[in-house]
Amino acid sequence: MIPASFDYVRPSTVDEAVQALASAGEDAKVIAGGQSLLPVLRMRLAAPTTLIDLGRVAELRGVREEGDELVIGAMTTHYDVQRDALIASHAALLKEATDTVADPQIRHRGTLGGAIAHADPAGDLLAPVLALDASLVLAGPSGRRTVPAAEFFQDLFTTALAADELLVEVRVPKHTGWRAHYEKFNRVAQAWSMVAVAVTVRTEAGVIEEARVALTNMGSTPVRASGVEAALVGVQASADSIAAAASHAAEGTNPPVDSNADVEYRRHLAQVLTGRAIAAAAGA
Amino acid sequence: MTATIEPEVGKSRRRKEDERLITGRTRWTDNIALPGLLHMAVLRSPFAHAKIVSIDTSAAKGASGVVAVYTAKDLDPDGSIGMPCAWPITPDMKAPRRPVLAADTVNFAGEGVAVVVARTSAEAHDALEEIDVEYDELPVVLDMEAAIADGAALVHEDLGTNTSAVWKFDSAEAGTGGNVEDAISSSEVVLKRRFRQQRLVPAFMEPRACVVDPTSTQITMWSATQVPHILRVMSALTLGIPEHKLRVIAPDVGGGFGGKIGVLPEEMMSLLVAQKLGKPVKWNETRSETMLAAHHGRDQIQDITITSTRDGQVTGLKVELLANLGAYNGLVGPGVPILGAFMFNAIYKIPAYHFACTNVYTTTTLTDAYRGAGRPEATFAIERIMDELAVELGMDPMELREKNWIKHEEFPFTTVCGLTYDSGNYEAATEKAKQLFDYDGLRAEQDRRRKAGDKVQLGIGISTFTEMCGLAPSRVLGSLDYGAGGWEYASIRMLPTGKVEVTTGASAHGQGHETAWSQIVADQLGVAFEDVEILHGDTQSSHKGMDTYGSRSLVVGGIAVIKAAEKVVAKAKPIAAHLLECAEDDLEFANGKFTVKGTDTSTGIGDIALAVFAAHNLPDGIEPSLDSDATFDPENFSFPHGTHLCAAEVDTETGRIKLRSYVCVDDVGVAVNPLIVEGQVHGGLAQGIAQALFEGTEHDDSGTLTTGTFADYLLPSAADLPSFTTDRTETPATSNPLGAKGVGEAGTIASTPAVVNAVIDAVRQFGVNDIEMPLTPMRVWHAIQHGTTDAGGPGRDEAGGGLGSIDATGGAQ
């Protein structure tokens, strides 16, 4: 299908992009890898007047260290995230989740920042970003601001981004040596997650010292499973202790209903998958 | 004596068409560009059922690049054009007129209401948004049982009913068997089940498209169709275009699976618009339009009653179907369930049989042929209920099948439907499949897991299927009130340089005809495989044909090729005798040469072709041509069969199904090209497994299709399927000289019940005896959770189906 016509702007710096966004007005849309936006345009579910393409903004690509944080450019592709040594060492959970995203073609086009800004609650990268206590750097006409992930995701496809702002960086506190697992459940390999669970833990001598757990598609935003995290701290990883912790997984969730899963089933899945994710991450 | 050349038939040649198809360096309908080409886009109804109050096209007419905007009033002012239906299954079948564009009422969401013609496709789509249609919604009709109940809202008010036709076959009335009611009242075991065949989308790779060029003496239409010849005839009959003024071309077509068997309103629209404007036009649908407006498949409710003795001899089978036609009659849609009518008895010796099908109109997209068309539905029902009967009797399901199937020494066997199966060997296919599968080993593992209460349970599913294909003997089609014959045509042109052009009336859209036909001709004429060119899909070059569907191309069209080749040889023989100065009786033809018996004097078919071209030295009265054609009408269907075994692991914590292994041993008779057979089986399995586990349309209460994209309508990829173990037994068909049987649909027909039987087998211990397809993890999990307590049968977790088992206790007496 053919999208409605639109103006197209391709800036080469963040400043140019911010300016372009400001001058394009309310009906402009920023395009990153286009893996979510293009289908929407082609089905004419959206008809922006201007597309601002970040594909040539070189400063938005790549991963670097800054003290205790990794700084990941918003336009870093999933493929690059998968292969990045810093991410593998300091944010293994992000790599684990990225490995499950769609297929190789999409992972070569799609970007971390694009997925986060799109804020599809069934998207696989929101829960890891939330679990890792990442913060998002937004650039607008009046400069940059930093928003914690927990405040960034506000609702279905809705974030803290103002209409004149761009997501430019994802800053992830280093979780060096933490083990991680992303347990994804879908009906076919290329379908969205019905439910998925992101777990990363720091263990010492078989005891879980710290745990971060977040859920995909169990609400209109990614959900932090705080009850599970609390139950895991100081626990020797075993089938029983994991099951006890996982039983808290669905607490406080408000899962969506669709033909693949009703509320009862999604809550049940969240518990089962949480248990499996913890077991895989903690090596139990 | 000439050296024997290795026969081409039987070689696993790679397909000669694949290089261009895989690289895309070929001509698809959408690639065709003509000078002055205009582009069409169709505005479709968002409502399933509504009165059209008004259509305002004025803004669209003024939009950029727009040449014209038409509604029904413009294209068909008299309201006299109706899309054709070739299969009036009963004399009193209802025939609501299906217009090219809806005029007063829309009867399904997706029905066309206006068409924009513009300089570019983008401008045409832009202008669609400028058309203002005012609708007055009418009650929707979605559920088949509700549709035929008293006082139901009507799809077509003027028909006074939503029942299109009721078609029956009864073996007692036909004299082919006993009375099933007697069997039901007298048998020791009576088991009744209800199954649902969900609605499927034939998800061909290339969306439908057509181009019409009205600017020469013949109107030329290119279409992504399976049926160029039928399309030409039907266009002439529907629109009154003189048949000789229309040429139809199916260029390379990206799949069909039955989904491109229709004659489309959009094709008729394109012909009308092109003639009105005097300019070539193109219509190319989006995938969203395919999902919404291209015909769907399956969609039946099946009430099945089987009767048997306590020791497992089946005594009767009663089949009562509701079949959802959608809003109108498709080209062959009403007959699709009838194609299954003779297959519920399958490979079994069932003494009494009754079949009744009620075709029902609803305010949904039309249904029509989809890979297997009627036979997958039948095979599913019988193979599922054989498993249920085995449980009821406490028998191994394979043992029950063996007890009832036709033994190999009993062929030819005339069934309770009156069909004569020419050949088969169910024992051999089953034995081979069991060995490849390790049937006994998997049963032992299943037992271990069950006893251990393993979280992952194992189930084994069987499908010992047969099907009738190679459509079809014309006289049989006539007896079923089908509107055409079932013959096929071929011609062979011997070129002066010894090369060969073959035309075929079969119309390949992915099957590999060019390769297989070349192999056949190479053997028949003794020419090189590379020296044969197959021409198809153009009514100018292959002027006559019945096209491709129903696994007919090889066993009907391939035989026509052989018959034409025989005529070429017969025509060449007197010329060879003349050239070699001998009597015709002294000649023998082998490996492309006529040889004087007992000598090494010979002449090749290519030499004769050259001599005929020169025509300087031919016998008196001999026509200077070797070219020949043949039209072949089969004497019988072909009956491929096979044994499919599926091992499914069910994660009882999540309901997820993993196919651990899938073994099938198919008997398709002699394989012309085993590699093509293998490909057909793999693709067929994928589609049949997809019905069991993944695919299915859903509508909301307003009749809106909620599975309108591939994000919601799930197709499996290789990652979702096991590595198939395929093998063959080879029991030649006796109904054609190749000994071949059709293979295009076998995998799809056989695999769906094998998978469902495997899953039910894994979870039956939890009180589950049915789960509605597709077997989503949620449905499986709910079934496991509630199976032990829900006497009505599990798997009923969503509104609107009416399914699962209606009789969990088995109905035994």
Of the residues B44, B286, B654, B706, the best mutation for testing chain A's interface (the one with the most A CB atoms within 10 Å of its CB) is: B654
| Inter-chain CB proximity B781 and A192 less than 8 Å | no
What are the angstrom distances between the C-alpha of B363 and each of B45, B201, B703?
Answer: 12, 17, 7
Backbone angles phi, psi at B532, to 5 degrees: -115, 130
CA–CA distance, B605 with B616 (Å, rounded to integer): 17
Cα first-last separation, chain B: 72
Cα gap A148→A224, rounded to integer Å: 13
B712: contact with A, CB 8 A cutoff: yes
Q: Show residues of chain B in contact with A263, CB under 8 Å.
A: none
Average pLDDT score over chain A: 97
Q: Residue A260: which of B129, B287, B776 has the nearest Cβ? A: B776
CA distance B569 to B623: 14
Q: What is the share, in percent, of chain A residues with pLDDT greater than 90?
A: 97
Determine the Cα–Cα distance for residues B428 and B731; give it in Å rounded to an integer.
Answer: 10
Q: At what angle do helices B777-786 and A263-282 cross, to 10 degrees?
A: 100
d(CA B341, CA B359): 13
Q: Which two tokens stand for residue B95?
A: 């025939």
- Tokens coding A120: 């599809």
- Identify whether B774 is preceded by a cis peptide bond (ω within 30 of 0): yes
The pLDDT assigned to B754 comes to: 98
Judged by CB atoms closer than 8 Å, whether chains meet at A190 and B719 is answered as: yes
Chain A residues lying within 8 Å of B782, measured CB to CB: 265
List the single residue in A185, A259, A268 with the smallest CB-CB distance to B698.
A259
Q: B196 by DSSP, 3-state: which?
A: strand
Q: Kindly give the residue spans of alpha helices, DSSP state H, lying in chain A.
A: 14-24, 37-42, 78-83, 85-90, 92-98, 104-109, 112-118, 126-131, 149-152, 226-232, 239-246, 263-282
Tell me how far apart the alpha carbons of residues A127 and A125 are, in angstroms, rounded to a whole number. 6
The answer to whether the beta carbons of residues A149 and B620 sit under 8 Å apart is no
Omega before residue B412 within 30° of 0, cis: yes
Query: Residue A265 and residue B717: Cβ atoms within 8 Å?
Result: no
Q: A105 to chain B: which residues are within 8 Å by CB?
A: none
Contact A211, A228 (CB under 8 A): yes
Q: Which residue of chain B is at minimal alpha-carbon distance from A263?
A: B778
Please identify among residues 90-149 of chain A the ones whose CB lies closer than 8 Å to any CB of chain B: none
Restricting to B residues 749-808, those with a Cβ less than 8 Å away from any Cβ of A are 776-778, 781-782, 797-798
Residue B340, min C-alpha distance to chain A (Å)? 30
Rounded to whole angstroms, the Cα distance separating B505 from B639 reads 22
In degrees rounded to 5, what are phi and psi of residue A58? -60, -35
Q: Could you tell me if B78 and B146 are in contact, meaning their C-beta atoms sit under 8 angstroms apart?
A: no
| CA-to-CA dists, residue B500 to B65, B492, B534, B547, B626, angstroms | 48, 7, 9, 22, 11
Query: Please, which pLDDT band fits residue A1 given cuts at 50, 70 and 90?
Result: confident
CB nearest to A185's CB, from B654, B706, B716: B654
Please name the residue that has the structure tokens 């089962």.
A272
Residue A133: what are its φ and ψ, rounded to 5°?
55, 40
Tell me the shortest Cα–Cα distance from A256 to chain B, in angstroms.
14
Indicate whether A80 pLDDT > 90: yes
As a whole number of angstroms, the distance between CA A130 and CA A225 comes to: 10
State how far the Cα of B780 lies from the Cα of B770, in Å rounded to an integer.
10
A157 part of contact set with chain B, CB < 8 Å: no
pLDDT reported for residue B787: 77
Query: Hey, is B664 helix, strand or coil?
Result: strand
Contact in structure between B253 and B225 (CB atoms under 8 Å): yes
CA distances from A279 to A211, A237, A284, B527 (A): 12, 8, 5, 66
Paired residues of B494 in beta bridges: B500
Whether B706 and A259 lie within 8 Å, measured CB to CB: yes
CB pairs under 8 A between A and B: 60
Asked whether B295 and B333 are in contact (CB, 8 A), the reply is yes
> What pTM value is reported for the model?
0.95
Residue A191 with chain B: CB contacts under 8 Å: 711, 714
Question: Quick one: average pLDDT of A123-147?
Answer: 98
B299 in Cβ contact with B323 (< 8 Å): yes
Q: Is the peptide bond before A270 cis (omega within 30 degrees of 0)?
A: no
* Total residues found in chain A within this entry: 284
Selecting from A4, A43, A262 the residue whose C-beta is nearest the C-beta of B778 gives A262
- Reading the block at residue B3, the tokens are 């050296």
Residue pLDDT, tens place only, A199-245: 999 999 989 999 999 999 999 999 999 999 999 999 999 999 999 99
HEC string for B688-751:
HHHHHHCCCCCECCCCCECCCCCCCCCCCCHHHCCCEEEEEECCCCCCCCCCECCCCCHHHHHH
Q: How confident is the model at residue A265 (pLDDT cuts 50, 70, 90)?
A: very high
Is the pLDDT at A88 greater than 80, yes or no?
A: yes
The answer, for B573 touching chain A at a CB cutoff of 8 Å, is: no
**Closest Cβ–Cβ partner in A39, A188, A262 for B694:** A188
Q: Could you say which residues of chain B have pLDDT below 70?
A: 1-4, 788-813
Residue to test with chain B: of A265, A267, A272, A274, most B Cβ within 10 A: A265
Mean pLDDT of A137-157: 97
ipTM of the complex: 0.97
A2, A189, A262 ranked by CB distance to B717: nearest? A189
| Subunit contact A189:B720, Cβ cutoff 8 A | yes
pLDDT attached to residue B765: 96
DSSP for B117-166, please give it: EESSHHHHHHHHTT-EEEEEE------HHHHTSTT---SSGGGS-SEEEE
Contacts of A1 in chain B (CB under 8 A): 125, 286-288
Residue B718: CB atoms within 10 A of its CB come to 10
**Which residues, including other chains, have CB under 8 Å from residue B12's CB and lie 6 or more apart?**
B673, B674, B675, B678
Cα angle value B220/B223/B229 (rounded, 5°) = 75
pLDDT of res. B4: 61
Task: Please give the C-alpha separations between residue A107 and each of A54, A102, A187, in angstroms, as whole numbers.
Answer: 17, 7, 20
Which of B122, B129, B711 comes nearest A192 by C-beta?
B711
A261 vs B contacts (CB less than 8 Å): 778
The beta strand positions in B362-510, using DSSP E, are 413-414, 420-421, 456-466, 488-494, 500-504
Read off the pLDDT band of A141 (50, 70, 90).
very high
Nearest Cα neighbor of A4 from B281, B354, B659, B130 is: B130
By CB neighbour count within 10 A (0-12 exposed, 13-18 middle, 19+ buried), where does B766 fall?
middle
Task: Please count the other Cβ atoms lying within 10 Å of the Cβ belonging to residue B172.
Answer: 15
Closest residue, chain A, to B700 (C-alpha): A259
Q: Measuring CA to CA, how many Å separate B648 from each of A39, B449, B715, B722?
A: 35, 13, 19, 10
Which of B706, B777, B782 shows the shortest C-beta gap to A187?
B777
